[in-house]
A and B are shown apart, each in its own frame.
Chain A
Amino acid sequence: MSSLAAPAAVATAVLGVLVVVLLVAVAAVHTTRARRLAAAQGSRAGLMALVHDLLDDGDDEAVVAAPRDLDEVLLHLLPQLRGADREAIQTALTRRGVVARAAADLDARAAWRRGRAATLLGSTAGRDHLARLTALLADRSLEVRCAAARALGRVGDPAAVHGLLASLTTARPLPAGVVGMAVLDLGTAVLPALRATLVTGSPAARALSADVVGVHGDLAATSALVDLLTDARQPEDVRRAAATALARIGDPAATDPLARVLLDAALPPLQRAAAEALGRIGDPAGAPALLAGLTCPAREVAAACDDALVALGPEGAAVLADAAGRGGPLGTAAAATLDATSQPGRLVGV
């Protein structure tokens, strides 16, 4: 072992040097930050005065000539503002060259530069860089792709919907949640495209489109959603998304198909979604199916039916009372629900 003493001593010395370097770096960073924060606090009042002048009087000459620290202040304020104030900040950022620098950074080597640039352009640049942001949906970095999707949502151009939906199934797919939020940001102008996707899109695009048309309460999509819900060849998550969307839309025309799915599907998550939808739509015609669902072996389905019957109000209570009077397993389940409903303090969800 003693033969190792010399190399070990050298290694120890190297480690010691590395530790000292780190210690010096920590001390330097801590001191520099403290000074910078103190200086920033001092200058912030002046920079905010410039921003107020810009927003109150439209005086952007002073803003254009201000030091670079102002960029951070403007970028911090931007998401919190709307209307004319937001436009004034966007114009100031463009005139200060921030937007041009971000556009150049879209091709940067570091992923965080590309992502930050996409985010900034989404907030500031209007529709000028739509094509480049859409191209970034295929970036090699997932985080950059997500940033590009969010940016497209913020820009708000309905033309971006096709690129966003296509990004769900490319070789480098985007997570559905990110695309969903971006498509929601595009507003109701994209509803026709989403309705078409319900019929012709990929399974992922169909599920996402169902979610979004549901959130928008798009009555015109009811028929396509019912088709998805009742088509046993569709993937389960597409059918579940359709059930949830029908619940949000609230059209009683969906009551019968939802009741059939609740009774026949034999897929507990889908059955649960159907039961929740029947409760949310509130059509008394769904009560018999919900009553039958009380004895479903899947506990989550039975609980959802229970909730839904309570949500139907007096009509639900009447169906429960009738079933309780007839006895049997169904009567017992109905009686238990009625008993719980009649107790003071009983709350849905407990």
Chain B
Amino acid sequence: MREVLVDVLLTMSWAVLGYTLLLDLVMLALVLAGARRVSASRRWDGSEGHEEIFASPLTSGVSVLIPAHDEEAGILDTLAAVLAQRYPVLEVVLVDDGSTDRTFDKVAERFGLVQVTARPTASLRVDGTVLSVHRATTGDPLTVVRKTSVGRRSDALNAALNVARHPLVCMVDADSLLEPGALVQVARPFVEDPANVVASGGVIRAANGARVARGSVLEPRLSSRWVVRFQVVEYLRSFLLGRTGWADANALLIISGAFGLFRRDLVVEVGGLDALSLAEDAELVVTLQEHLRQQRRPHRVVFVPEPVCWTEVPETLAVLGRQRRRWSHGLAQLLWKHRRMIGNPRFGPVGLLALPFFLLFELLGPVVEVVGLLCVVLAAFLGLLDTGTALVMFGLALGLGTLLSTAAVAVEEFSYHRYARGREVGVLLLAGLLENVGYRQLHAWFRLRGLVAALMRRTPVWTAMPRTGFTEAEPVPVS
């Protein structure tokens, strides 16, 4: 019996080791590919032609869609940032999704809203009841839809899509701040290649701790909370470099819900956002790719590493846990719904590379991590654990994780250097080391719980994140 157990343990240990090495190598390749791309785009930013796009009469109009539920803390900042976009043709559609706080009152007061008659441009299914539609009287191109909440962001976005007028729709979270040139940069691929580009996403960065005034990030600063600092490193590694790498392989699956631009006609054509999905942003991208690939229509999903959207990230482990469980649950839903695409060459790099990666490493990763830890405990219990070897393996895992994070911070410093103070760069590097002990394991636990919830077919629930609002900059005294 013991021999069988030892054999099983050994086999599992080898499998976990091989899995971990493969995952880290793939991540390293993605980070390096992303770093190469980011460096090239930074060296040559003068040729990007943003001025021409801003001035061109051929630039398509954009409807910015903002779903908001209990967002009184930061909604005016978010609207100020969107309305200040340097973009030629723009409208903003804010959906007050059953807020119980003063979200609507604040917007109504600031923009002098008046009720108008809605005239839909699409008839996507909306489960909540649309109560009224309002328009700003301040001259701002702002429409506000009030509806009852059914607890799903996708429902609010579908309500917004039903009144959006422009050929492109940009989905922005209500706790996010766009930099003034963000929209024109993320729209550039649509203007330059209108026949092929169907979706485009930009970079998301953590706004917690940054100095903000009237919707503008004056000075990016790191939060004093380590849980936020770990997420800053994670966003650099996965969202900036990882997505740049995937986009280069023409296999981008996720455009963040916090900031993504889509062709409106195609989003309407596929029936809008999936009402039941917890990862509606990724779900929309995969649905578009599946739909267009099946119809053999040209399509490109693009990631632009320059435009920046600043967003609030969770400041406590409890909120982070809820968010990551939801992401993992949503990923499981997505992979199950599109299971016939996985490994299917008909769907190109998305089917052959991205979906298998997300299944093996993103969804099942926490399972392997937990199995690995159990193997260590079991080996110790059976007296099989060689402490020296275990420490070396732990050091190897720590080294790989730290190298990935350090590389991501290094690319940030070489290319964007958003954090001007040396101390903050140092703290980021330290976070890249410390996240491997404790945070990473906790993160795996949150994801595992999301996977279990999906397997048990629990009803998807969208939980709103508590908002703290942005850190207003102190006014500078006039001397």
Q: Is the CB of B120 within 8 A of A1?
A: no
Residues of B within 8 A of A (CB): 10, 13-14, 17, 40, 43-44, 46-47, 49, 51-53, 56-58, 91, 114-123, 133, 135, 143, 163, 165, 190-196, 265, 268, 386, 388-389, 392-393, 395-396, 399-400, 402-403, 406-407, 409-410, 413-414, 417, 422, 425, 429
Compute the total of residue contacts between A and B using a CB distance below 8 Å. Answer: 160
Q: In the A-B complex, list the 5 residue pairs whose CB atoms are closest, starting with the nearest.
A: A15-B399, A175-B193, A177-B192, A340-B117, A119-B47
Residues of A within 8 A of B40 (CB): 111-112
A-B contact pairs, 11 of them (CB 8 A): A4-B393, A15-B400, A26-B406, A75-B46, A143-B47, A146-B47, A153-B52, A269-B265, A299-B123, A340-B117, A350-B143
Residues of A within 8 A of B49 (CB): 146, 150, 178, 181
* New A-B contacts (8) at CB < 8 Å, excluding given A25-B410, A178-B192, A181-B52: A2-B386, A29-B413, A176-B194, A181-B53, A184-B58, A349-B91, A350-B135, A350-B143
Q: Is the CB of B425 within 8 A of A26?
A: yes
A23 to B191, CA, bound (A): 40
A22 to B414, CA, bound (A): 11
Closest to B49 in A: A150
Q: Is the CB of A116 within 8 A of B46?
A: yes
Residues of A within 8 A of B388 (CB): 2, 5
Size of the A side of the interface (Cβ < 8 Å), in residues, is: 59
Given contacts A4-B389, A23-B406, A150-B49, contact A215 B165 (CB under 8 A): no
The smallest C-beta distance from A153 to any residue of chain B, in angstroms, reads 8
Residues of A within 8 A of B194 (CB): 175-177
The smallest C-beta distance from B198 to any residue of chain A, in angstroms, reads 14
Closest to A13 in B: B399
The smallest C-beta distance from B36 to any residue of chain A, in angstroms, reads 11
Q: Is the CB of B396 within 8 A of A15?
A: yes
Closest to B51 in A: A79
Taking a contact as CB atoms closer than 8 A, the residue among A1, A16, A79, A350 that contacts B163 in the complex is A350
The smallest C-beta distance from A8 to any residue of chain B, in angstroms, reads 5
The CB with the most chain A CB atoms within 10 A, among B53, B143, B386, B410, is that of: B410
A171 to B196, CA, bound (A): 16
Given contacts A26-B410, A349-B165, contact A116 B47 (CB under 8 A): yes
Binary interface profile of A, 219-238, with partner B (CB < 8 Å = 1, else 0)? 00000000000000000010
Closest to B401 in A: A15
Q: Is the CB of A345 within 8 A of B116?
A: yes
Given contacts A112-B40, A146-B49, A347-B116, contact A181 B410 (CB under 8 A): no
The smallest C-beta distance from B391 to any residue of chain A, in angstroms, reads 9
A150 to B429, CA, bound (A): 40
Given contacts A343-B116, A350-B143, contact A150 B52 (CB under 8 A): yes
